[in-house]
Chains A and B, each alone.
Chain A
Amino acid sequence: MPNPSLQQTRSPVPPALAGRSTGAAVLPTSVRVQQVVQVFEPGGPPVLDRIDLDVGPGEFVCLLGASGCGKSTLLSLIAGLATPTSGCIEVTVGRPALMFQEPALLPWLTAAGNVELALRARGVGRRERRTAAERLLELVNLAGQGRKRVHELSGGMRQRVALARALAQYSQLLLMDEPFAALDAITRDALHEELTRLWAEQGLSIVFVTHNVREAVRLGQRVLLMSSRPGRIVREWQVELSQPRAIESPGVSALATEITGHLRAEIRRHAR
């Protein structure tokens, strides 16, 4: 049942599907996804099938799955870019910020201009925007680079500008859709460090979608494995390793090996 005290309720729970709830229901959550089903063509197979997901304040959750598991679809549902066919999504912390695989910066604006646009959308005044953008760029180690155009930045720098723009939304909830998948391994490593630091400093809740098992274990407090066609959450791991973790550390490797086994088993089901 949608709780009237929650700020955003996008879709009512159909009575037939209502009634299941996770054990963490009493704790405050940033996002609560309940029994979400997403079907693209009427009568067609569901892309997402009865997804339940709670993300607590300050929690870092990684959604892991092969292609076609609907992890990106789930993220755009949480971001409010689409409405679920049934089920209910409650975001209690206002409009979430969303990062894509591509930086998706506006190429006619400078780095600072891109960050400032997010501030402008929130109604921040001109002078305040300038100083805030400068501070946000410094936060992602891009101090003094604000005047550069997008094409003058490397891939990693662009993705950090995109991160600064997402932070400029001052949302408690950051949704990330394979944000580092297009970067080389060294740059990705740097951005993992950057992200874990910002997550701890800013007290963000993060939902991070990836198909990279080590990345999921490197970053998340919780790793959720999704099956494909239909997308379901099939398994969950708590990552007890302390941050900062190194992606090549034995702890990360061991858990990644275990999860990879399950991921491959999931994928094998689709053979034939």
Chain B
Amino acid sequence: MPADQPGRTAGGPALDDNRVDSRTFEAGLDALDAPPALPPRPGPWTVFVRSVLPPIIAAAAFFGLWQLAYQAHLKPKYALPSPGEVLDTLVEMISDGRAWEAVATSVSRGALGFLASVVIGTLLGLAMWRSGWLRRAIGPFISGLMSLPSVAWVPAAIIWFSLTDATIYTVVLLGAVPSIANGLLAGFDQVPPLLQKVGRVLGLGSFGRVRHVLLPAALPGYLAGLKQGWAFSWRSLMAAELIAYSPVLGIGLGQQLAIGRDLSQMDLVITAILLILVVGVAIELLVFAPLERRVLRTRGLTADRRP
């Protein structure tokens, strides 16, 4: 309510004095009580200095120490190449296409396995949420599976499916599905009962309550489960590729590691490790971080409350 035209509502008649008084009183209260306005968004230079520069400095320090260790001959040359040699290998692998091939192979496997895990994990989570019996029955095993390193499944999967894609996807699914199902359940469990009551008071039907109250309320927990599910499927994939190494499977990043090991080429091994790391960080930064930030910001769940 603008203070300079106190006696008018939109198109309405003039208000009596009491009404005007209480309106301006309330407007004053709102101005005093409302959470303070956000500080202005920092400029690109501030963002760079605050968020981008520190990890760059840390990385530079790491490579510096590595170079020192190399020059001090802590390990023989074949076991500890210099950062420069690894960089040469990386450039070579990028220019001859081996790096792209490995990244593309692994990422497409990871994405496909993760999407399948999302579908299965979500359905499983929903089923466990709907049926208390099912949850009590298999809940402990789902949680147990989460603490079992999925690399433990590789020998079994190789015996069942020999060296095929099925082996790799089995390991990825067993790694990611439990996290996603548990994340969805955690999301549902965290929905405040009061909000569910609101859905009933407003007269929403059971479908409307799920669509407008339950699912949006469970979203932060579900998203955390998805993020963990991705991390698990990426790790499981690397473990599976490293062990299930065969020409028919194509060469992913894990298989690059295996080649490096077999040839005792440490520069190749380190390059593959770096690529695995880069892909993991990139997916986190480009996919999950923005999603999560958006969900948390709209709900005022972060210190930075910018919408």
Interface residues of A (CB under 8 A from B): 79, 81, 95, 97-98, 100, 102, 104, 106-108, 117-118, 120-122, 138, 141, 143, 149-157, 165, 169, 186-187, 190, 193-194, 197, 244
Minimal Cβ-Cβ distance residue in B for A134: B10
Q: Across the interface, do B201 and A79 meet the contact criterion of CB distance under 8 Å? A: yes
**Chain B 110-141: CB-based contact to A (< 8 A → 1; otherwise 0):** 00000000000000000000000000000000
A sample of 21 cross-chain residue pairs with beta-carbon separation below 8 angstroms, ordered by A number, consists of: A98-B201, A100-B194, A106-B195, A107-B300, A108-B298, A108-B299, A117-B202, A117-B204, A122-B203, A141-B1, A141-B23, A143-B1, A150-B299, A151-B35, A152-B34, A154-B34, A157-B34, A169-B203, A186-B29, A190-B22, A190-B26
Q: Which residue of B lies closest to A96 (CB)?
A: B201
**Chain B stretch 291-305: residues in CB contact (< 8 A) with chain A:** 295, 298-300, 305
Q: When the two chains form their complex, are residues A153 and B34 in contact, meaning their CB atoms are under 8 A apart?
A: yes
Contact A149 B298 (CB under 8 A): yes
Task: Find out whether the CB atom of A152 lies under 8 angstroms from the CB atom of B30.
Answer: no
Total number of residue pairs linking A and B with CB closer than 8 Å: 94
Which residues from B are CB-within-8-Å of A154? 29-30, 33-35
Task: List B contacts of A152 (CB < 8 A).
Answer: 34-35, 300, 305
B149 part of interface (Cβ distance < 8 Å) = no
- Within 8 Å of chain A (Cβ to Cβ): is B206? no
Is B64 an interface residue when CB atoms closer than 8 A count as contact? no
Interface residues of B (CB under 8 A from A): 1, 9-10, 18-19, 22-23, 25-27, 29-30, 33-35, 194-195, 197-198, 200-204, 208, 212-213, 216-217, 219, 295, 298-300, 305, 307
Residues of the A chain whose Cβ atoms lie less than 8 Å from the Cβ of B217: 106, 108
What 8 pairs across the A-B complex have the smallest Cβ distances? Answer: A151-B300, A154-B33, A107-B299, A121-B202, A98-B201, A121-B203, A193-B22, A121-B204
The docked-state distance in angstroms from the alpha carbon of A151 to that of B19 is 28
Establish whether residues A102 and B194, one from each chain, have CB atoms under 8 Å apart when the complex forms. Answer: yes
**Residue in A104, A122, A151, A190 whose beta carbon sits within 8 Å of that of B25 in the complex:** A190
A149: chain B residues at CB < 8 Å are 298-300, 307
Closest Cβ–Cβ distance, residue A79 to chain B (whole Å): 6
Q: Which of A81, A102, A190 has the most CB of B within 10 A?
A: A190
- Chain A residues within 8 Å of B204, by CB: 117, 121
The answer to whether B9 and A138 have CB atoms under 8 Å apart is yes
Cα distance, A165 to B198, chains bound together (Å): 10
- Among the listed B22, B23, B30, B219, which residue makes an inter-chain contact with A108, where contact means beta carbons less than 8 Å apart? B219
A244 contacts which of B18, B27, B307 (Cβ < 8 Å)? B18
**Complex Cα gap A249–B17 (Å):** 20
Q: Which of the residues A100, A151, A186 comes within 8 Å of B305, measured between beta carbons? A: A151
Closest Cβ of chain B: how far from A236's Cβ, in Å?
Answer: 27
Contact of A157 among B19, B30, B213, B298 (CB under 8 A): B30
With A95-B203, A97-B201, A151-B300 known as contacts, the answer to whether A190 contacts B307 (CB < 8 A) is no
A197 touches B300 (CB 8 A): no
Chain A residues within an 8 Å CB radius of B299: 107-108, 149-151
Of the candidates A102, A118, A156, A197, the one whose C-beta lies within 8 Å of that of B202 is A118
User: Considering the chains assembled together, what is the distance between the CA atoms of A121 and B34 in angstroms?
Assistant: 29
**Cβ–Cβ < 8 Å partners of B35 in chain A:** 151-154
Most buried by A among B25, B33, B213: B33
Q: List chain B residues, Cβ under 8 A from A143.
A: 1, 10
* Contacting pair B197 A104 (CB below 8 A): yes
By a CB distance below 8 angstroms, the chain A residues around B198 are 104, 106
Alpha-carbon distance A193/B25, docked complex (angstroms) = 11
Is the CB–CB distance between B22 and A197 below 8 Å? Answer: yes
A105 to B305, CA, bound (A): 17
| Nearest CB on B from A132, distance (A) | 14
| Chain B: minimal CB distance from A167 (Å) | 12
Given A106-B195, A107-B300, A108-B299, A138:B29 Cβ within 8 A: no
- Chain A's closest residue to B209 (CB) is A121
Q: Given the complex, which residues of A lie within 8 Å of B25, measured CB to CB?
A: 190, 193
- Minimum C-beta distance from A156 to chain B (A): 6
Q: Known A-B contacts: A106-B195, A149-B299. Give 14 more (CB < 8 A).
A: A98-B201, A102-B194, A104-B197, A106-B213, A108-B217, A108-B299, A141-B27, A149-B298, A151-B300, A152-B35, A154-B34, A156-B30, A156-B33, A157-B30
Q: A106-B213, A197-B19 are in contact. Are A156 and B29 (CB under 8 A)?
A: yes
A157 touches B197 (CB 8 A): no
Residue in chain A with minimal CB distance to B198 = A104
Q: Which residues from B are CB-within-8-Å of A244?
A: 18
Q: Enumerate chain B residues within 8 angstroms of A156, measured Cβ to Cβ.
A: 26, 29-30, 33
- Cα A15 to Cα B25 in complex, Å, equals 54
Residues of A contacting B305 in the complex (Cβ-Cβ under 8 angstroms): 151-152
CB–CB A157/B9 < 8 A: no
Distance in angstroms from B258 CB to nearest chain A CB is: 46
- Is B195 touching A104 in the complex (CB atoms < 8 A)? yes
B267 to chain A, nearest CB (A): 49
Q: Which of B198, B208, B305 has the most CB of A within 10 A?
A: B198
Q: Indicate the member of A79, A118, A120, A121 with the most B CB atoms within 10 Å.
A: A121
